[in-house]
């Protein structure tokens, strides 16, 4: 993946994640991560041509999503209910947006959720 391709995908992920209430981006482990308050709900990364978004979806939803070949257990975080989705030119950004909202709901506090529900 070219630097331009990386930047384009990261820009999309940023736009989705940072649109959620009280979300910030913090670099951790050399990757951009997105947090609701202090709790991480999404991370952007990957190796070489494989770029991904990791999402905290919970164990029940994790099992469901892992039946889809586009998803795989997030390294080092799968046991906490995380999945990763490969990003490329065929990515459905509406789906990513919905998944990011789901992940956000896993960690956001009641005040944040009230704002989210009022805005969406």
What is the domain-level CATH number for residue 67? 3.90.1150.30
Across 77-89, b (16+ Cβ under 10 Å) vs e yields: bbeebbbbbbbee
Share of the chain above pLDDT 70, in %: 97
Give yes or no for residue 49 having a pLDDT over 80: no
Paired tokens of 12? 């999309």
Which structural domain range is residue 85 located in? 3-119
Q: Which long-range contacts (CB under 8 A, 24 or more apart) does 74-81 make?
A: 74/43, 80/56, 81/56, 81/57, 81/106
Domain count, the chain: 1
Q: What pLDDT does 120 receive?
A: 65
Euclidean distance between CA atoms 65 and 7, whole angstroms: 26
Q: 95 pLDDT band (50/70/90 cuts)?
A: very high
**Is the pLDDT confidence value at 79 over 80?**
yes
Render pLDDT for 83-92 as a digit per residue (tens, 0 to 9): 999 998 899 9
Arithmetic mean of pLDDT, 10-36? 96
């Amino acid at each position: 993946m070219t630097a331009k391709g990386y930047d384009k995908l990261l820009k999309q992920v940023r736009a989705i994640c940072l649109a959620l209430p009280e979300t910030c981006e913090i670099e951790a482990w050399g990757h951009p991560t997105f947090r609701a308050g202090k709790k991480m709900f999404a991370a952007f990364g990957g190796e070489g041509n494989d770029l991904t978004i990791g999402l905290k979806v919970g164990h029940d939803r994790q099992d469901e999503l892992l039946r889809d070949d586009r998803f795989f257990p997030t390294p080092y975080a799968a046991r906490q209910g995380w999945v990763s989705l490969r990003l490329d030119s065929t990515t459905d950004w509406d789906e990513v947006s919905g998944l990011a909202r789901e992940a956000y709901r896993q960690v956001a506090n009641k005040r944040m959720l009230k704002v989210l529900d009022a805005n969406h």
